[in-house]
C-alpha cells in the first residue's frame, strides 16, 4: 500500500502523456452539449471518483451528472429510461456485474457508453463504446490508492479537453503537487501517532472535496477499522454536529476556494468551542491553525485539483495509522481486491 501511494506522481506523469490522445478523442466524440446528462455507475472507491465528476463536469463543462442505482438494473429488473444520457461506468477492475448491467442497458437503449477503468479487457470495457484506460499499473494492495487518484485524473482530463481542447497548466501541475504532499510523510506519520486510539470520527469535505470526505472515510474504515462518517460541512451542520464533544475526532479537507470560509468557521467552532480533536489538510494557514493538527498543501494548489494531493495525504495518514494500530494494511479483514456485486 505504501509503495503504491508513493507511485502516484509517476502514475500521473505517465497518464498525462500516454492518455492525452485517447482522452482528446473521447472528448471530441462525446460532447457535453450532445447529452441531457451523464449517468455514472460505480461502487466503493470508484463511486467517490464519480462524486468528483459530479462536481467537476457540472461546474467546468455544464454537464449534469447523476449517480446510478445499479440494483434497479439487476435485482429489481426495472431500469429507468436513459433517454438523453451518456452512460459511464467507473471501476478499477471492471468486473462487478451490476455495473456491467448498467452499461449493457445503456447500449440496449441506444445510448453511448464510456468505461473508465484500469482493465481494458474487462466485462465493463466490453460493454463500452469508448474506453479510457486510467493507466495506474498493477495495484496489489487491497485498499485502492493509486487507482483512485488515477480515476480522478482521467475525469479531469476529459473535463479539460471538453473545456479547452487541451490539458491545462493547472492539471499538468498535478504530478508535482502530489510529489510535494508526499514529502510531508514524516509529519503525517507523527500526527497519526496521536490518533492511535481512533475508533470513530467524522470526515468533512465540500464541493470538489465532497468526494474526498467519502474516500478518506472509506480508507479509514478499510485500513484502520474506525467507523468514519463522511459529510459535507452543510450536511454536518444539519444534525450530526450534535455528536461533537471534547476529544471527538474530526478530519477536514479544507483547500482554498469559495467554500473555504464555511469550512474555517466550522473548524474554529468544533476545535475552539467544542474542543474536538481536529485534523485539517489545507493550503491556507488559517485552517492549519484552527485545527489541532495540520497537513500543508502547496500554496498554489487549485481547488478543483486539490482532491488529488489531499487524498494522497489522507492515504498516508490512514496507512501510518493502520500500522501504528498493528493492523494488516495490505489485506484488511473481510475484503478482497475485486468485489463483485449484483
The pLDDT tens digits along the chain (342 residues) read 999 999 999 999 999 999 999 999 999 999 999 999 999 999 999 999 999 999 999 999 999 999 999 999 999 999 999 999 999 999 999 999 999 999 999 999 999 999 999 999 999 999 999 999 999 999 999 999 999 999 999 999 999 999 999 999 999 999 999 999 999 999 999 999 999 999 999 999 999 999 999 999 999 999 999 999 999 999 999 999 999 999 999 999 999 999 999 999 999 999 999 999 999 999 999 999 999 999 999 999 999 999 999 999 999 999 999 999 999 999 888 877 677 787
Check whether residue 164 and residue 246 sit in a common domain. no
Question: Residue 335: its pLDDT value, please?
Answer: 79
Strands (E), 8-134: 37-41, 65-67, 85-91, 113-117, 130-133
Check whether residue 220 and residue 272 sit in a common domain. yes
Check whether residue 74 and residue 32 sit in a common domain. yes
Domain membership flag for residue 341: no
Domain membership flag for residue 129: yes
Point out the domain boundary residue: 121, 150, 172. 172
Domain membership flag for residue 40: yes
Residue of 195, 184, 185 lying closest to 279 (CA atoms): 195
Region for 205 from its dihedrals, namely left if φ exceeds 0, alpha if ψ lies in -120 to 50, beta otherwise? beta
Check whether residue 183 and residue 251 sit in a common domain. yes
Check whether residue 51 and residue 194 sit in a common domain. no
Check whether residue 195 and residue 310 sit in a common domain. yes
How many folded domains does the chain comprise? 2
Domain membership flag for residue 165: yes
Distance CA 167, CA 190 (A): 36
Contact 127, 113 (CB under 8 A): yes
Check whether residue 31 and residue 168 sit in a common domain. yes
Check whether residue 188 and residue 58 sit in a common domain. no
Could you identify the residue written with the cell 445503456? 106
Distance CA 322, CA 229 (A): 17
Domain membership flag for residue 296: yes
At 146 the three-state DSSP class reads helix
Identify the domain containing residue 36 by its residue range: 2-172
Contact 159, 57 (CB under 8 A): yes
CATH of the domain at 201: 3.40.50.10490
Question: Residue 337: its pLDDT value, please?
Answer: 64
Question: Residue 312: its pLDDT value, please?
Answer: 98
Domain membership flag for residue 86: yes
Domain membership flag for residue 71: yes
Check whether residue 124 and residue 8 sit in a common domain. yes
Q: Cα separations (Å) of 330 from 2, 35, 314?
A: 9, 41, 16
Check whether residue 68 and residue 185 sit in a common domain. no
Check whether residue 211 and residue 292 sit in a common domain. yes
Check whether residue 140 and residue 209 sit in a common domain. no
Domain membership flag for residue 319: yes
Amino acid at each position: 500500500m505504501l509503495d503504491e501511494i508513493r507511485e502516484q506522481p509517476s502514475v500521473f506523469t505517465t497518464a498525462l502523456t500516454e492518455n492525452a490522445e485517447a482522452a482528446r478523442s473521447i472528448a471530441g466524440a462525446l460532447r457535453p452539449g450532445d447529452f441531457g446528462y451523464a449517468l455514472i455507475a460505480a461502487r466503493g472507491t470508484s463511486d467517490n471518483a464519480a462524486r468528483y465528476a459530479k462536481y467537476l463536469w457540472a461546474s467546468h463543462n455544464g454537464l449534469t451528472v447523476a449517480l446510478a442505482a445499479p440494483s434497479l438494473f439487476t435485482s429489481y429488473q426495472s431500469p429507468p429510461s436513459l433517454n438523453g444520457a451518456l452512460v459511464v461506468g467507473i471501476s478499477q477492475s471492471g468486473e462487478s456485474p451490476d455495473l456491467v448491467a448498467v452499461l449493457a442497458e445503456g447500449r440496449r437503449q441506444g445510448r453511448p457508453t464510456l468505461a473508465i477503468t484500469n482493465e481494458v479487457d474487462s466485462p465493463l470495457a466490453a460493454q463500452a463504446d469508448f474506453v479510457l484506460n486510467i493507466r495506474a499499473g498493477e495495484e496489489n494492495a487491497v485498499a485502492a490508492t493509486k487507482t483512485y487518484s488515477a480515476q480522478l485524473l482521467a475525469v479531469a482530463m476529459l473535463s479539460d479537453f471538453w473545456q479547452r481542447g487541451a490539458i491545462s497548466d493547472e492539471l499538468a501541475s498535478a504530478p508535482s503537487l502530489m510529489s510535494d504532499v508526499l514529502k510531508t510523510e514524516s509529519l503525517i506519520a507523527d500526527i497519526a501517532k496521536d490518533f492511535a486510539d481512533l475508533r470513530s470520527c467524522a470526515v468533512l469535505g465540500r464541493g470538489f472535496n465532497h468526494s474526498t470526505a467519502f474516500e478518506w472515510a472509506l480508507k479509514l474504515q478499510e485500513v484502520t477499522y474506525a467507523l468514519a462518517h463522511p459529510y459535507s460541512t452543510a450536511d454536518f451542520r444539519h444534525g450530526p454536529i450534535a455528536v461533537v464533544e471534547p476529544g471527538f475526532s474530526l478530519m477536514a479537507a479544507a483547500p482554498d476556494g469559495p467554500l473555504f470560509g464555511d469550512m474555517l468557521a466550522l473548524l474554529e467552532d468544533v476545535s475552539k468551542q467544542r474542543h474536538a480533536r481536529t485534523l485539517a489538510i489545507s493550503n491556507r494557514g488559517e485552517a492549519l491553525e484552527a485545527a489541532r493538527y495540520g497537513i500543508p498543501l502547496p500554496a498554489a494548489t487549485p481547488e478543483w485539483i486539490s482532491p488529488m494531493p489531499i487524498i494522497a495525504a489522507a492515504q498516508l495518514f490512514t496507512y501510518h495509522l493502520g500500522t501504528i494500530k498493528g493492523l494488516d494494511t495490505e489485506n484488511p479483514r473481510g475484503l478482497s481486491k475485486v468485489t463483485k456485486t449484483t
